[in-house]
């Protein structure tokens, strides 16, 4: 087999790949939603004064961050059934990717929270604010802008990691490309198209995130 | 089967896999560092052609997934007449992928070397190559070492993907053991622990040590 790009074949498989792209986007969106919430829990757990909890959250984050996502996906998918918990590929994929990125996002939040000057906390204490008021009205609005860049990077990151879900049979873009490849024995078009589709999503997303960041800063009265 | 028996039976295969992962890691690191230097310097070049090649490379490899790149290099490149053995395809794609991220670190570090250093080198009549090699790069190296520490961990994790083109690394071995024994918690759990030990107790301390040594050599220890 030599290099010859077939346009008819390209147009034949393009609709299928675009449908799969929707699954990829959905996987990234759901995974990211889980990660955003869970990351906040992990970051706040590290800020409670309770040492065992702080230590546990810290170790968990370190462990997740230093082991491969693809292995975690396998772990979640295969270990459940051993103990009688059967998870569908979609559910275990979302759990694994959400957990993985929650560790990264918790670090982003932590950095953001730490970047708020100490005087702000003291001022809240002086004004007799409850800790809930302190967080929601003073700290989080200031911690958010410095965190946005990191959060955006991981949104693109999670999108680019969704192909790993194909290993447990989630029918996203990569999985579909593999299927097309093994049906037709043509790998050039599907894999190249997957690459192009990813570029076409991730480059504009990165640009949009930068614009959003500027917009939020302006809204909050920061430069 | 107790976990101890599991280790006695399959420990050798896990160690074999760990060795392959280690070799993949070393080769991929070498590729990543070389490519990052070339592309990072290329992006700063005044030559438009070199600059656009570097930018294209960086954007393509940062804009798509490692898995896509791996499959492309392994399955599509042969159609262009470049057939790579799976082992080489593995570390080359991991290295090229991480190298694109590294290139941005190299560029950022070079640009953040204070302007006075560039001017001083110019005043001493150094050629651009001398200036880069003897004044700018050593200082840039120190600046970019901490973010490279994170990137190298990403690289180690990236090598797990080469198992998908059946390079017999740690991930591959644990998958095989799982397939033949159905002891998922043991096989994948052991692999997770081994990756954790490699990252936390080998790679991270090494990078810290390198930071200290470099700082001392530049007289900033």
User: Å from A131 to nearest chain B CA?
Assistant: 34
pLDDT value at residue A99: 95
In terms of Cβ atoms closer than 10 Å to its own Cβ (0-12, 13-18, 19+), residue B209 is exposed
Task: Kindly list the residues of chain A whose beta carbon comes within 8 Å of any beta carbon in chain B.
Answer: 1-3, 62-63, 65-72, 74-75, 78-79, 81-83, 160-164, 166-167, 174, 177-178, 181, 187-188, 191-192, 194-195, 198-199, 202-203
Task: Determine the Cα–Cα distance for residues A21 and A196; give it in Å rounded to an integer.
Answer: 12
* Chain B residues with beta carbon closer than 8 angstroms to that of A83: 185
Query: Is A199's CB within 8 Å of B64's CB?
Result: yes
Are B68 and A166 a contacting pair at CB < 8 A?
no
pLDDT, average across residues A91-116: 94
Structure tokens that stand for A182 in this block: 């093994």
**Would you state the pLDDT for residue B81?**
85
d(CA A112, CA A206): 20
**What local confidence, expressed as pLDDT, does residue B164 receive?**
93
Q: For tokens 């804009």, what's the residue?
A: B63
What is the rounded average pLDDT of the residues B164-172? Answer: 94
- Residues from chain B contacting residue A195 (CB–CB below 8 Å): 60, 64, 68-69, 72
Residues B95-128: pLDDT tens digits? 999 999 999 999 999 999 999 999 999 999 999 8
Identify whether the C-beta of residue B150 lies closer than 8 Å to the C-beta of residue B1. no
CATH classification of the domain holding B201: 1.10.3720.10
Across the range A92-112, mean pLDDT stands at 94
Give the pair of three-digit tokens for residue B188. 């994948």
Does position A182 have pLDDT exceeding 70, yes or no? yes
- With a cut of 60, say whether residue A172 has pLDDT above it: yes
For the segment A137-151, the average pLDDT, to the nearest whole number, is 88
**Closest chain A residue to the Cα of B174, Cα to Cα:** A71
The token pair at A71 is 């292995």
The topology under which CATH files domain A7-219 is MetI-like fold (1.10.3720)
pLDDT at residue A3, as a whole number? 66
The answer for B66, left when phi > 0, alpha when psi is -120 to 50, beta otherwise, is alpha
Tokens of B70: 């791996």
Query: Which residue in B67, B158, B195 is closest to A66 by CB distance?
Result: B195
Q: Answer yes or no: are the C-beta atoms of A112 and A143 closer than 8 Å.
A: yes
Count: domains in chain B:
1
Residue A2 has pLDDT above 60, yes or no: no
Alpha helices in A66-187 (DSSP H): 69-82, 89-114, 118-126, 131-133, 140-161, 173-184
User: How many Å lie between the alpha carbon of A146 and the closest alpha carbon of chain B?
Assistant: 18
d(CA A136, CA A44): 13
Give the per-residue pLDDT at A216.
86
Domain of B115, in residue numbers? 3-217
pLDDT score for A223: 57
Residue A140 has pLDDT above 90, yes or no: no
Q: What percent of chain B shows pLDDT beyond 90?
A: 85
Using CA atoms, how far apart are residues B40 and B106, in angstroms rounded to an integer? 5
**Interface size, chain A vs chain B, as Cβ–Cβ contacts under 8 Å:** 120
């Amino acid at each position: 087999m030599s290099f010859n790009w077939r346009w008819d074949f390209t147009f034949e498989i393009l609709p299928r790949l675009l449908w799969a792209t929707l699954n990829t986007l959905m996987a990234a969106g759901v995974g990211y939603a889980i990660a955003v919430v869970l990351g906040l829990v992990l970051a706040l757990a590290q800020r409670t004064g309770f040492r065992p909890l702080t230590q546990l959250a810290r170790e968990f984050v370190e462990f997740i961050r230093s082991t491969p996502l693809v292995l975690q996906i396998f772990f979640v998918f295969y270990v459940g059934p051993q103990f009688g918990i059967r998870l569908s590929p979609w559910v275990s994929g979302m759990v694994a990717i959400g957990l993985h990125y929650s560790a990264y996002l918790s670090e982003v939040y932590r950095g953001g929270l730490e970047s708020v000057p100490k005087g702000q906390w003291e001022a809240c204490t002086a004004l007799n604010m409850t800790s809930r008021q302190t967080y929601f009205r003073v700290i989080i609005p200031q911690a958010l802008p410095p965190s946005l860049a990191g959060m955006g990077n991981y949104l693109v990151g999670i999108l680019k990691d969704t192909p790993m879900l194909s290993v447990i049979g989630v029918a996203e873009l990569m999985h579909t490309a593999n299927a097309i490849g093994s049906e037709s024995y043509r790998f050039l078009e599907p894999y190249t198209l997957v690459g192009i589709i990813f570029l076409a999503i991730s480059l504009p997303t990165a640009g949009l995130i930068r614009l959003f960041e500027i917009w939020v800063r302006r809204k909050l009265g920061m430069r | 089967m107790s976990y101890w028996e599991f280790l006695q039976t399959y420990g050798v295969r896990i160690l074999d896999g760990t060795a392959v992962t280690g070799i993949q890691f070393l080769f991929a690191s070498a590729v990543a560092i070389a490519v990052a230097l070339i592309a990072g310097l290329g992006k700063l070049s005044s030559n438009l052609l070199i600059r656009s090649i570097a930018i294209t490379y960086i954007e393509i490899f940062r804009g798509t997934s490692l898995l896509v790149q791996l499959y492309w290099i392994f399955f599509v490149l042969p159609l262009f007449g470049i057939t790579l053995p799976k082992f080489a395809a593995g570390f080359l794609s991991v290295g090229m992928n991480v190298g694109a991220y590294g290139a941005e670190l190299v560029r950022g570090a070079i640009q953040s070397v204070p302007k006075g250093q560039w001017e001083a080198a110019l005043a001493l009549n150094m050629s651009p190559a001398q200036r880069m090699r003897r004044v700018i790069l050593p200082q840039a190296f120190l600046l970019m070492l901490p973010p490279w520490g994170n990137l190298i961990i990403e690289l180690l994790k990236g090598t797990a993907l080469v198992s998908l083109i059946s390079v017999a690394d740690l991930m591959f071995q644990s998958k095989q053991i799982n397939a033949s024994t159905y002891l998922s918690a043991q096989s994948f759990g052991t692999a997770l622990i081994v990756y954790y030990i490699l990252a936390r107790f080998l790679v991270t301390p090494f990078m810290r040590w390198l930071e200290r040594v470099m700082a001392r050599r530049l007289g900033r220890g």
